[in-house]
């Protein structure tokens, strides 16, 4: 145990702690959005609400790089993934899923549940396949109806080059390109039209700093000519497009969340979408330098996402105890690893409208607890690296 173990501030429970969340969703929701959401729940079949709804859809377009306005659905992100799959494939269709983490597995599970003939391009957690590997699969096994992938694989923090993949898939096949940008929208560039991507799905509780409960789905023109003929009801996207053009959703939307979404999107629009992405890029670079300066090895081999950074916890430290102490002693909630990475990594999200100085606090909190748990030479190393980078 380090020499600080005898210092009461490091060992005793602190009297006052403000909770700070560094998990990859839900992300902090700005006060002005929260205040708007506690007002009267808006009635959704009236002109005032239709214009809010339309305004949200318009402001979403630049974030997706989509000429047409994305749909807003009332569901978590997985609902939009299911909607995408059901509306673009038939039972028995041959599909390809890129699987290198927990969320890649979700595409696979969905495609299996809905009766597709599922093929995978599997890659080790923390890595991403080269474009050539994908091209090789497409050449060897022609006839895919759709290819499913993540932009950010949240379980490992890697960012897949979906632009290059989309263009390669378009060059070599007629397959639809479907991207889960649930944890990357707003944090990474997304130019779905330019990159030949047909469907992009996302969710409210990540880069857009709105509570969980809304999902988004943007479709290319080509996709809108290729709807599946499967039975469906709640997630009937062609019907949804018709209704949403009039500012209405087919069913009762989470109207309070949409009011909060409008405020968050207005703030992002005023700041500028590109600058918002650059803000995340700057935070990510700084946090990576900080983690390295604390002696933590990054997971991701160069393909780092802008929304979260994952790093291995030093072997001499009990990873679960580190996260527990951070949460219980200083109110800082970090995500750990999932499945084979449980107890081995810490995931530090810097996603959405997170406060710059909260990130500083997160780095200092990590340093303090690592030091307490026996890592020497960490105090001040991370925060100094972060401030120099940013």
Ligand X SMILES: Cc1ncc(COP(=O)(O)O)c(C=O)c1O
# chain residues binding ligand X, by CB under 6 A? 13
Phi, psi of 154 (to 5 degrees): -65, -25
Which range, of 13-21, 54-62, 177-185, 187-195, touches ligand X by CB under 6 A?
Answer: 177-185
CB-wise, 76 or 255, nearer to ligand X?
Answer: 76
Q: How far is the CB of 299 from ligand X (least distance, A)?
A: 16
| Token pair of 48 as six digits | 């005032």
Residue 182 binding ligand X, by CB under 6 A: yes
Single out the residue of 77, 126, 260, 319 in contact with ligand X (rule: CB under 6 A): 77
- Give least dist CB 139 to ligand X, A: 28
Choice from 25, 161, 196, 300 touching ligand X (CB under 6 A): 25
Q: Tell me if 183 contacts ligand X by CB under 6 A.
A: yes
What sign has the CA pseudo-torsion 163, 165, 166, 172? Answer: positive
Quick note: the x/- pattern for ligand X over 189-218, rule CB under 6 A, is --------------x---------------
| DSSP secondary structure code for residue 96 in this structure | E
Instruction: Specify which residues 218 forms β-bridges with.
Output: 200
x/- mask, ligand X, residues 80-119, rule CB under 6 A, reads -----------------------x--x-------------
**Residue 150 makes contact with ligand X by CB under 6 A:** yes
CA distances (Å), origin 65, targets 68, 69, 100, 196, 310: 9, 10, 25, 11, 27
SS3 329: helix
Which residues, other chains included, contact 156 with Cβ-Cβ below 8 Å and sequence gap of 6+? 100, 101, 125, 126, 299, 300, 310, 341
| Interacting span for ligand X (CB under 6 A) from 89-97, 176-184, 228-236, 269-277 | 176-184
DSSP string, 122-191: E--TT----HHHHHHHHHHS---SEEEEESEETTTTEE--HHHHHHHHHHH---EEEEE-TTTBTTB---
| Alpha helices, DSSP H, located in the chain | 8-11, 31-37, 47-64, 77-88, 102-113, 131-140, 162-172, 237-245, 255-271, 273-293, 319-330, 356-372, 381-389
Q: Applying CB under 6 A, does 338 fall inside the site for ligand X?
A: no
Residue closer to ligand X, measured from CB, 152 or 363: 152
The residue whose Cβ lies closest to ligand X is 77
Element containing residue 95 per DSSP (H, E): strand 94-99
Single residue of 2, 61, 68, 76 touching ligand X by CB under 6 A: 76
Query: Please, what is the minimum distance in Å from the beta carbon of residue 329 to ligand X?
Result: 26
Burial of 36 (0-12, 13-18, 19+ CB in 10 A): middle
Minimum CB distance to ligand X smaller for 284 or for 370: 284
CB of 110 to ligand X, least distance (A): 10
**Smallest distance from ligand X to CB 77, Å:** 3
Return the number of the residue (163 or 247) whose C-beta is nearest ligand X.
163
Among 154, 244, 264, 306, binds ligand X (CB under 6 A): 154
Around Cβ 67, how many Cβ atoms within 10 Å? 11
**Helix, strand or coil, per DSSP, at residue 325:** helix
Q: Does residue 78 bind ligand X (CB under 6 A)?
A: yes
Site residues (vs ligand X, CB under 6 A): 25, 76-78, 103, 106, 150, 152, 154, 180, 182-183, 203
């Amino acid at each position: 145990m380090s020499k600080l173990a005898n210092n009461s501030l490091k060992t005793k429970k602190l009297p006052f702690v403000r909770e700070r969340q560094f998990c990859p969703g839900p992300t902090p929701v700005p006060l002005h959005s929260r205040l708007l959401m506690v007002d009267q729940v808006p009635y959704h079949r009236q002109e005032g609400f239709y214009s809010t709804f339309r305004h949200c859809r318009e402001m979403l377009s630049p974030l997706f790089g989509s000429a047409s306005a994305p749909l807003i659905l009332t569901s978590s992100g997985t609902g939009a993934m299911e909607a995408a799959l059901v509306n673009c494939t038939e039972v028995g269709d041959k599909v390809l899923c890129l699987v290198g983490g927990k969320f890649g597995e979700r595409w696979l599970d969905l495609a299996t549940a809905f009766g597709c003939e599922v093929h995978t391009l599997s890659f080790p957690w923390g890595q991403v396949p080269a474009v050539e590997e994908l091209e090789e699969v497409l050449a060897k096994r022609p006839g895919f109806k759709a290819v499913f992938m993540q932009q950010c694989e949240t379980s490992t923090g890697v960012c897949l080059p979906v632009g290059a993949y989309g263009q390669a898939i378009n060059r070599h096949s007629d397959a639809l390109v479907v991207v889960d940008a649930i944890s990357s929208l707003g944090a990474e560039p997304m130019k779905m039209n330019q990159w030949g991507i047909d469907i992009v799905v996302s969710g409210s509780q990540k880069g857009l700093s709105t509570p969980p409960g809304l999902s988004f789905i943007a479709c290319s023109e080509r996709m809108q000519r290729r709807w599946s003929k499967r039975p469906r009801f709640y997630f009937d996207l062609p019907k949804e497009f018709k209704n949403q053009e009039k500012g209405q959703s087919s069913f009762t939307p989470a109207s309070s969340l949409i009011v909060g979404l409008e405020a968050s999107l207005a703030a992002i629009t005023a700041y500028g979408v590109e600058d918002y992405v650059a803000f995340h890029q700057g935070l990510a670079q700084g946090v990576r330098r900080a983690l390295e300066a604390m002696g933590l090895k990054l997971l991701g081999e160069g393909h780092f996402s802008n929304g979260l950074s994952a790093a291995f916890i030093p072997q001499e430290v009990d990873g679960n105890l580190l996260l527990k102490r951070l949460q219980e002693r200083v109110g800082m909630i970090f995500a750990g690893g999932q499945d084979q990475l449980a107890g081995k990594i810490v995931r530090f999200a810097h996603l959405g409208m997170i406060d710059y100085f909260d990130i500083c606090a997160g780095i200092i909190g990590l340093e303090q607890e690592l030091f307490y748990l026996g890592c020497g030479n960490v105090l001040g190393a991370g925060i100094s690296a972060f401030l120099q980078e940013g």
